[in-house]
């Protein structure tokens, strides 16, 4: 089992992106997915950093892939998706409509925003050319076990969500723009004011979700710190870590130490909890309970 870093969900300044991937190249993660997942309007502000990041990551011995958007609706977004194929790197599909631009016989990866819930879907994706599949984070362990075994039998790497705010939904409307009384087309990129998403409470003041432009995230940070051994046993090939603005190299390092047996699960949790943007961890989906719940190692 090793570590994959997923695409950054958030809108960061280009120099922040440059520094982030420079630091990431010096960690021991095995592979990195980069590119714009959430909003195509953001891409022109930081896309010039992608070639440098790719070069640094490959030079450091890491596998690199580029992600599709999570919701492809406009002609220019379809054109952007078609252009991904020409980059020469594996494409991670996070919207199945992206497959229209992936030639038959071309290997691709599947991201966690594709609803791979059963063996039939997994089999179809494998037959279509998928070589690496990150399962949706809302699956319970029993389902993960079935799909991981099938992936292992088919020679396809199956990942699960390891650490980070969960991607729960993508909308056609922009929450950040609406919060600031702006139209989506004139949002003025206010999502950049919240580098880890904007936290949302219920009407009675209870912690609930986080929003990031058109994306809905969990407010807690999902972490499988207490389930690594059982995930190894069922055949999970990698854990996915999701970028955040602070402490991410520490997150990568302590996860690497845990996988190498140099940190126990309680020690890992003690180091991870202070890095969570909302200060809370969760593993409820994997444990088969309420998604925002934290098992504390009981699962």
Give the model's pLDDT for residue 298. Answer: 61
Give the model's pLDDT for residue 267. Answer: 98
Q: Are 163 and 223 in contact (CB under 8 A)?
A: yes
First-residue to last-residue Cα distance in the chain: 20
Binding residues: 39, 174, 187, 191
If phi > 0 it is left, if psi is from -120 to 50 it is alpha, else beta; for residue 181 that is left
Sign of CA dihedral 177, 180, 186, 187: negative
Q: For residue 12, what are its two tokens?
A: 């960061």
pLDDT tens profile 253-265: 999 999 999 999 9
Q: When comparing pLDDT for 225 and 295, which is higher?
A: 225
Binding residues for [4Fe-4S] cluster: 39, 174, 187, 191
Element (H, E) at 256: helix 248-259
Averaged pLDDT for residues 215-234? 98
Q: Tell me, what DSSP letter sits at residue 136?
A: P
Using alpha carbons, list the distances in angstroms from residue 137 to 104, 128, 165, 234: 28, 22, 10, 16
pLDDT tens profile 37-89: 999 999 999 999 999 999 999 999 999 999 999 999 999 999 999 999 999 99
Give the model's pLDDT for residue 209. Answer: 97
Q: Round the average pLDDT of the chain to a whole number and report it.
A: 97
Closest CA to 116 of 87, 131, 100, 137: 137
With a cut of 90, say whether residue 1 has pLDDT above it: yes
Q: For residue 163, what are its two tokens?
A: 């650490």
Query: Band of the pLDDT at 299, cuts 50, 70, 90?
Result: very low
Averaged pLDDT for residues 152-172? 97
Give the model's pLDDT for residue 178. Answer: 93
Q: Tell me, what DSSP letter sits at residue 274?
A: G
The number of beta carbons lying within 10 Å of the beta carbon of residue 183 is 9
CA 48 to CA 116: how far, in whole Å? 32
Give the model's pLDDT for residue 296. Answer: 82
With a cut of 90, say whether residue 297 has pLDDT above it: no
Percent of the chain with pLDDT over 70: 99
Q: Are 27 and 253 in contact (CB under 8 A)?
A: yes
The number of beta carbons lying within 10 Å of the beta carbon of residue 241 is 23
pLDDT tens profile 111-161: 999 999 999 999 999 999 999 999 999 999 999 999 999 999 999 999 999
Q: Tell me, what DSSP letter sits at residue 156?
A: -
239: phi then psi, degrees, rounded to nearest 5: -110, 140
Averaged pLDDT for residues 272-295? 95
Domains of the chain, CATH where assigned? 2-168+219-287 (3.20.20.70)
């Amino acid at each position: 089992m090793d570590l994959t870093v997923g695409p950054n969900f958030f809108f960061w300044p280009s120099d922040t992106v440059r520094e982030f991937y420079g630091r990431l190249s010096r960690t021991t993660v095995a592979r990195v997915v980069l590119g714009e997942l959430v909003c195509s309007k953001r891409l022109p502000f930081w896309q010039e950093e992608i070639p440098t990041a790719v070069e640094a990551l490959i030079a450091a011995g890491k596998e690199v892939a580029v992600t599709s958007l999570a919701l492809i609706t406009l002609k220019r977004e379809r054109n952007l998706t078609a252009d991904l194929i020409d980059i020469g790197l594996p494409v991670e599909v996070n919207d199945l409509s992206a497959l229209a631009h992936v030639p038959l016989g071309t290997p691709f990866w599947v991201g966690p925003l594709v609803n791979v819930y059963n063996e039939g879907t997994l089999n179809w994706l494998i037959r279509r050319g998928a070589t690496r599949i990150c399962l949706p984070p809302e699956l319970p362990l029993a389902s993960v076990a079935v799909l991981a075994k099938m992936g292992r039998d088919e020679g396809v790497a199956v990942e699960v969500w390891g650490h980070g705010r969960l991607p729960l939904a993508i909308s056609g409307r922009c929450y950040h723009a609406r919060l600031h009384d702006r139209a989506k087309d004139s949002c003025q990129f206010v999502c950049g004011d919240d580098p880890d998403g904007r936290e949302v409470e219920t009407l009675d003041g209870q912690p609930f979700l986080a929003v990031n432009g058109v994306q809905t995230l969990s407010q807690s940070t999902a972490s499988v710190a207490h389930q690594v051994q059982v995930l190894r046993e069922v055949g999970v090939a990698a854990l996915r870590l999701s970028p955040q603005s602070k402490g991410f190299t520490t997150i990568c390092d302590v996860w690497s130490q845990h996988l190498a047996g140099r940190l126990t699960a309680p020690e890992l949790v003690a180091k991870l909890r202070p890095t969570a943007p909302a200060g809370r961890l969760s593993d409820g989906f994997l444990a088969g309970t309420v998604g925002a719940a934290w098992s504390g190692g009981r699962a």
